[in-house]
Amino acid sequence: MLSWEQPLMEPMRCCRAWVEIDLAALQHNVRQLKRLLASPAQLMAVVKADAYGHGAVMVAQAALQAGATWLGVATVPEGIELRSAGIQAPILVMGAVNSPEEMQAIAHWRLQPTLVMPKQALVFSDTLSRMVAARPLGVHLKLDTGMSRLGFPWAEAVEFVRFVRQLPHLKISSVYSHLATAD
């Protein structure tokens, strides 16, 4: 490096990105959202992708202390991380889960999966039937209402619900969707 570059580079080295989390502010926001909900509605704190880079366990604990009752993650390992930290709240895995190993981990760690197609539901039920002392697993059906990202076609929702309801070992806990637009 040339000597005249040193003074120009120094300010750039010290200005790397960082984030500061005000857990009191986060808890205040959770309490404000809870006040807007009518009983018995519950609030889910989505902490996927390490709580969007803010620290999943820390954010999850703060949100639960402030009144959130559910947590949402994208992947099975994210759910396992929360359970390993001692978090007992219900955890929804919002991403697609297709392998029997992931399905077994979901049952073992008491996570709740998102189902997006009948074949996936059938594999879940079959996988659970082979597990010793497997109890019914709460599942959440995701419908595609226009975002075209992940979900079963909304126009066929009734058939999807009927199919999953008849499968042993699965209990439908909810049906949900991403909105097609944020407007």
Does 163 reside within a domain?
A: yes
Q: What is the CATH classification number for the domain harbouring 161?
A: 3.20.20.10
Does 19 reside within a domain?
A: no
Q: Which residues contact 181 (CB under 8 A, 6 or more apart)?
A: 146
Give the domain extent around 144. 95-183
Does 115 reside within a domain?
A: yes
Q: What is the full DSSP assignment across 124-136?
A: HHHHHHTSTTPPP
Does 154 reside within a domain?
A: yes
Report pLDDT digits (tens) over 1-43.
555 555 555 555 555 666 788 999 999 999 999 999 998 999 9
Give the three-state DSSP class for 117: coil
Does 57 reside within a domain?
A: no
- Cα(72)–Cα(156) distance, rounded to whole angstroms? 25
Number of structural domains, the chain?
1
Report pLDDT digits (tens) over 122-164.
999 999 888 866 678 999 999 999 888 889 999 999 999 999 9
Residue 168 exposed, middle or buried by CB count within 10 Å (0-12, 13-18, 19+) = exposed
Asked if 71 and 94 touch (Cβ cutoff 8 Å), the reply is: no
- Cα(144)–Cα(178) distance, rounded to whole angstroms? 7
Report pLDDT digits (tens) over 55-66.
999 999 999 999
pTM for the predicted model, two decimal places? 0.86
Q: Give the distance, in angstroms, between the CA of residue 9 and the centroid of all CA atoms in the same chain.
A: 41
